[in-house]
Structures are given as structure tokens and as C-alpha cells.
Amino acid sequence: MGKDKVMNAIEASKERFFGLAAEIWNRPEISYQERESASLQKATLREFGFHVVELDRIQNHAFTAEFGSGSPVIGLLGEFDALPGLSQKVSTVQEPVVAGGPGHGCGHNLLGTACMAAATGLKAALETGCLKGTVRYYGCPAEEQVGKPVLAQAGVFAGLDAVLCWHPADINTVAAYGTNASVELVFRFKGVASHAAQVPHLGRSALDALTLMSVGVEFLREHMPQSARVHYIVSSGGERPNIVPRSAEGHFQVRSPRMREVLPLVRRVVDVAKGAALMTGTQVEWEVLHGCHDVLPNSVISDVLYDNLKSVPLPVFDAADRDLAAGLAAYSNDDQKRATLALFGIDPASVATLIHSPLHESIGYWGVGGPYRRPRMSATCPIWPRPPRSTPPPGRSGSVRTPGRPLPPRDRGSV
């Protein structure tokens, strides 16, 4: 039976993957700099007998690892990038390893690791002949920076019959919902520097322009689709307050459930930037850094995944896990406490506010308790060949949600 082969193979190698998740955790590398994380994964996959193809010519640290032949060709996406500023020891209190350094606050030390485990499980089933086809793991850099469109443009995903991915969260579920389309741009304003006290009338402040642009975007919000989002940061705003800033730079990100809504909104944001430049006598140039279309959920595959997910035992939290949760909760304020307990399935409160935050709870969780259970859940739910269900599966069962049911609105974009 193919499922047994897959499960047994993963079970037999689980310590290896636990260790790999910990190694990547201990070597956090931000997007496009994942040299060691990618090397660790490639070395492991070679040891497991996969044919590894380096794709650095397309994108640094990208690769594929393949086993088998013929169809179907099933892809598994793996990522491994950390986030800036989230350096953290495995601890129940906030303790950066390197102050200001990167850390895995989004569970990406698990993403690729679990998909690798799934790939090795499928390989074991292919070797016995009970399954036929090809399994292809994708080492995908820069999940936080929308790295995959570059790979897609290069045709790396051609020939796939299906491709699966997952992400750590506070629930075990099949994510049968789409994600936002997104475009990120940088706006660079150029003005004229001058002494801010002696000759301010001779200056033209690039920072004024960027500030007015951000105000314009705030007023834009009322008149854009409710589901759309615009985020921004000021990445450069001058050197000294007594110098009228000659240059200023802002990064803006526009998101909406559909790309057809994003693109007109991007044009309106550009118009706001032009208006800000006109008002301040400055110049502006903009550049699209990257973008990606919305994810289209596949209900047939989701049903198959859900069926398999139900067959995998839920994680059992032991006394050490609960001690950890208690330690984290003791350190937290009320909001953090609710979110922390939710991570351990103790409280149904949403944990979404922790994702991508520097709060140590999320970081400590992924580093201590999470990696050693959640990857197993994910790795043991690859797609197994089975006829799709003709009727919707039953509703909630434990912490598993029914695919196809819209989840609460949640900005689950890819960064």
C-alpha cells in the first residue's frame, strides 16, 4: 500500500529532518542569501538519492531535486528564508542570538524540511513500484520576497501535473483558499538640498514629497476596494534634520484578492506620487520590484489532501510542551498570552497577529516545540493517488478544517 510506504519512510527518517529543521533554524538567512540553508537541503537530498539541479543562473540558491520518471509529475515547494531582526535563541524569553540579526519567525525552517520529508516518502513508494511517476522538490529562495515568479518565468514549473506547498500556522488544515495578488514598488524622490535654517527657500524636500505621497495614499484608502491593501515604509528620508533632504525613498506594496484590482490601484498610487512631486517641486521615479498573481485554490486536490490529512494522527503535546506554553504565557501580556496558547491548541484565539512579528512567542515556538511535530503532520500529507471525493467532506474534525469553506479574512499573502 503506497500510503504505508510513504508513512513508514518518513517515520524512519524523522530524526534526520528534525535535525535539519534545527540546523536551518540555527543558521537564519534572509531572502536571496540562503546559501547555507540551500546547501544543507541539497546535500540531504543527494544523500537520499535525488538528482539535484542547481538553478543559480535563474535565481541564487534555487534548485530542484527529482526522483522517478514519467507522469504524473508531482512538485513540492520548499522554502528556507528567515526574516530580518528576529534573531532568537531557543528560549521562552526574548533572547536574540545576534542583536538585530535575522531569525525564523515564520517557521520557514520547517517549510522546506517537511516537503523534503514528503518527497523522500514518495520516493520510497516509487521505488517499490506501488506508485508510478516523478516527484520533484523545488528549493525556492525568497518566500518573503516573492521569489517564485522569477522561477515561473524561466519555465521551471513546466511539466508539472500538480504542485503542493504548505506553511506553518496555528491550525492543521487544508488551505482551500486563495491568497492576495501583490505588487511591490519603490518610489525615489529627488529634490534640492539646502541649509534648513539659512536658505530653506532654496531647497526642495524629497522627504516632503514622500510624506505627501503617504498622506495621499491614506486618503486613497476610502476610495479603493475594501479588500485591497496598501502598505509602505520609508526606507530613506535624509541624513540630518538641518539639511533639506535631497533624496527620499519609500517602498509600497499593493495587494488585493485579484490582480485585476491590483493593477489599477498601482496606477492610482503612481498618480499620487506624481502629484506629490508636483506639489513639492521634486522629481519622482518608480520601479516595480516584484509582483505575483493571486493563488487559485484547487478544490479537487484540496479534497484529496483533506482526506489524507484526516488519516494522519494529530500531534500530541506532552508535559514539556505544556511547560513551554506556560513559560511563554507567563512572560506575555494578555494578548500575547492568548495567541501563545492558541499555538498549542489550548485557546481558539487567532494567532495571526504574531506572524511576522518580532514577538518572541512565535519565534520560540517554532524553535522549540513546533518543528518537532508540525513537520510530521505536513510531511505525511502528500497527495496520494485516490479518486477525488464527489461530495464535500464533513465539517470540522478536531483542529482540521473543511476545505472549500471560506476561512475568516486574513491577509495571507506570500510575504
Stretch of residues binding Zn ion (CB under 5 A), selected from 40-48, 100-108, 205-213, 266-274:
100-108
Residues contacting 61, CB < 8 A, separation 6+: 32, 33, 34, 35, 37, 38, 139, 141
C-alpha 119/C-alpha 136 separation (Å) is 7
Nearer CB in complex with Zn ion: 106/269: 106
Q: What are phi and psi of 369, to 5 degrees?
A: -90, -40
Stretch of residues binding Zn ion (CB under 5 A), selected from 14-22, 102-110, 211-219, 221-229:
102-110
Stretch of residues binding Zn ion (CB under 5 A), selected from 52-60, 106-114, 301-309, 377-385:
106-114
Nearer CB in complex with Zn ion: 193/352: 352
Q: Which three cell numbers stand for residue 215?
A: 498622506
Q: Considering the complex, what minimum distance in angstroms separates the CB of residue 172 from Zn ion?
A: 16
Beta bridge partners of 186: 251, 287
Q: Considering the complex, what minimum distance in angstroms separates the CB of residue 321 from Zn ion?
A: 22
Q: Which uninterrupted H or E stretch holds 113?
A: helix 108-128
Nearer CB in complex with Zn ion: 66/143: 143
Nearer CB in complex with Zn ion: 310/412: 412
Q: Which three cell numbers stand for residue 406?
A: 471560506
With CB under 5 A, what is the number of residues at the site for Zn ion?
1
Residues contacting 347, CB < 8 A, separation 6+: 338, 341
**CA dihedral sign, ordered 145, 26, 344, 121:** positive
Q: Which residue is nearest to Zn ion (CB)?
A: 106
Q: Considering the complex, what minimum distance in angstroms separates the CB of residue 112 from Zn ion?
A: 12
Stretch of residues binding Zn ion (CB under 5 A), selected from 99-107, 223-231, 298-306, 324-332:
99-107
Nearer CB in complex with Zn ion: 30/272: 30
Q: Considering the complex, what minimum distance in angstroms separates the CB of residue 385 from Zn ion?
A: 29
Residues contacting 36, CB < 8 A, separation 6+: 27, 29
Nearer CB in complex with Zn ion: 106/244: 106
Nearer CB in complex with Zn ion: 169/243: 169
Q: Considering the complex, what minimum distance in angstroms separates the CB of residue 255 from Zn ion?
A: 15
Q: Considering the complex, what minimum distance in angstroms separates the CB of residue 371 from Zn ion?
A: 14
Q: What are phi and psi of 30, to 5 degrees?
A: -75, 175
Q: Which three cell numbers stand for residue 52?
A: 539535484
Nearer CB in complex with Zn ion: 205/378: 378
The answer to whether the CB of 94 falls within 8 A of the CB of 100 is no
Decide: helix, strand or coil at residue 250: strand
Q: Does 292 bind Zn ion (CB under 5 A)?
A: no
Residues contacting 85, CB < 8 A, separation 6+: 100, 101, 102, 103, 358
Stretch of residues binding Zn ion (CB under 5 A), selected from 98-106, 117-125, 130-138, 245-253:
98-106
Q: Considering the complex, what minimum distance in angstroms separates the CB of residue 169 from Zn ion?
A: 9
C-alpha 208/C-alpha 364 separation (Å) is 40
Q: Considering the complex, what minimum distance in angstroms separates the CB of residue 257 from Zn ion?
A: 19
Q: Considering the complex, what minimum distance in angstroms separates the CB of residue 167 from Zn ion?
A: 6
The per-residue DSSP string of 273-340 comes to HHHHHHHHT-EEEEEEEEEEPPP---HHHHHHHHHHHHHSPPP---HHHHHHHHHHHHHS-HHHHHHH
Residues contacting 4, CB < 8 A, separation 6+: none
Q: Considering the complex, what minimum distance in angstroms separates the CB of residue 364 from Zn ion?
A: 16
Stretch of residues binding Zn ion (CB under 5 A), selected from 105-113, 182-190, 259-267, 297-305:
105-113
Stretch of residues binding Zn ion (CB under 5 A), selected from 41-49, 104-112, 206-214, 218-226:
104-112
Instruction: Report the candidate in 377, 393, 381 with the shortest Cα–Cα distance to residue 300.
Output: 393
Nearer CB in complex with Zn ion: 106/156: 106
Nearer CB in complex with Zn ion: 13/378: 378
The answer to whether the CB of 133 falls within 8 A of the CB of 72 is yes
Nearer CB in complex with Zn ion: 212/355: 355
Stretch of residues binding Zn ion (CB under 5 A), selected from 82-90, 101-109, 123-131, 314-322:
101-109
Q: Considering the complex, what minimum distance in angstroms separates the CB of residue 87 from Zn ion?
A: 17
Eight-state DSSP code of residue 70 = S
Q: Which of 9, 83, 106, 329 binds Zn ion (CB under 5 A)?
A: 106
Residues lying near Zn ion in the complex (CB under 5 A) are found at 106
